[in-house]
Structure 1
Amino acid sequence: MQNYKNHAQYYPLHHFVMAPLTLGLFIWSIVRLFSAFGTDEISIALFHFLIALILLILPLLARLYALKNQDRIIRMEMRQRYFELTGKPLRVLEEKLRLSQIIALRFASDEELMGLIDETISKDLRAKEIKMKIKNWQEDKRRV
């Protein structure tokens, strides 16, 4: 059962393989670049540095694109869910909510969602506070 304490997820291939390897390669390329200054190896070291920089940025960009897409989907899911529960559009309240709050609210059950939305707006709760207040947690194991 997912809850506040265990909802954060790590993806081993990304977090424990790809990120450390690309970071290690990047650091190695910087060391190599500095040690190559003033030698004939500078052009090769600079080339390795640029390749390592590109390889460091690529997984970060891929993750950023996925998260931004998921944020848009979550916003649409919450609009639909709010409409199904109230018959009213969420857009009126969206101006009073940050995206992080909307994302946190999606874990709340239908029974507690309206109260949490009102409390979030009136007290300007942070995402962490919202998640900690949820009693009946709705799982989401598909978030990247």
Structure 2
Amino acid sequence: MSNPNQGYANHRRLHPLFHFVLLLLTLVLLVSSVTEFIRLMQAGERFLPAFIYVIVSAIVVVIFLLIRSYPLKAQDRAIRAEESLRHYVLTNKLLDPRLTIGQIVALRFAADSEFPALCQRAAAEQLSPDAIKKSIRQWKDDNYRI
């Protein structure tokens, strides 16, 4: 479903279950495991179970980070391919190799009418992804990114 009002101010997408619930639960798990480990060490009690709890918490944190980064890397590759094809169709030329993946991801929001010129400017001036998005006059929705 397309959002006709999508633009720079509201293009970011948050997934509440991931960004709030899972993040909060992961942080609570990590903090509570470290707190319990320190408490048991200071009390001179057996702390091996608490140490294992800390290790499991660290594993959960790593998994939390990976389940976000792997799909984004795959999606960035797809965006690079889509935008390379779009640039080729519009200009009959390949994308400038100086463009970074971050720049290409930002350029996907530019409408076809300004996309080639903005690609050229982004490469020549090494614009940041944020500067690219702020330069877009005619926004093209992307409602499929995770």
**1:100 counterpart residue number:** 102
**Which AA in structure 1 matches 2:15?**
Y
Contiguous gaps of at least 5 residues in structure 1: none
Q: What CA distance in whole angstroms lies between the structure 2 residues aligned with 1:5 and 1:118?
A: 24
Task: Report the AA paired with residue 10 of structure 1.
Answer: L
Runs of at least 4 residues off by over 6 Å? none
Match of 1:127 in 2: 129
Which stretch has the larger CA shift, 119-128 or 58-67? 119-128
1:56 aligns with 61
Question: Which residue is equivalent to 2:119?
Answer: 117
Structure 2 gap ranges (5+): none
Map residues 19-98 of structure 1 onto 2, 5 A cutoff.
19-37=23-41, 38-40=44-46, 42-90=47-95, 93-94=96-97, 96-98=98-100
Cα deviation, residue 89, structure 1? 2.3
TM-score normalised by L of structure 1: 0.93
CA distance in 2, matches of 1:110, 1:2: 16
Q: Partner of 2:113: helix, strand, or coil?
A: helix
- Counterpart position of 2:144: 142
Structure 1 position 14 matched with structure 2 position 8: no
Deviation per CA, 1:89-127, whole angstroms, max 9, x where unpaired?
22xx12x11111111111100000111112112222111
In the superposition, the TM-score normalised over structure 2's length comes to 0.91
Distance 2:84 2:117 in 1: 16
- 1:134 & 1:89 partners in 2: Cα distance? 21
Moved more, 81-90 or 68-77: 81-90
- Give the superposition deviation at 1:86: 1.5
CA RMSD, 1 decimal: 1.0
Write the letter of the residue equivalent to 1:73: A
Q: Please give the secondary structure, in 2, of the residue aligned with 1:111.
A: coil
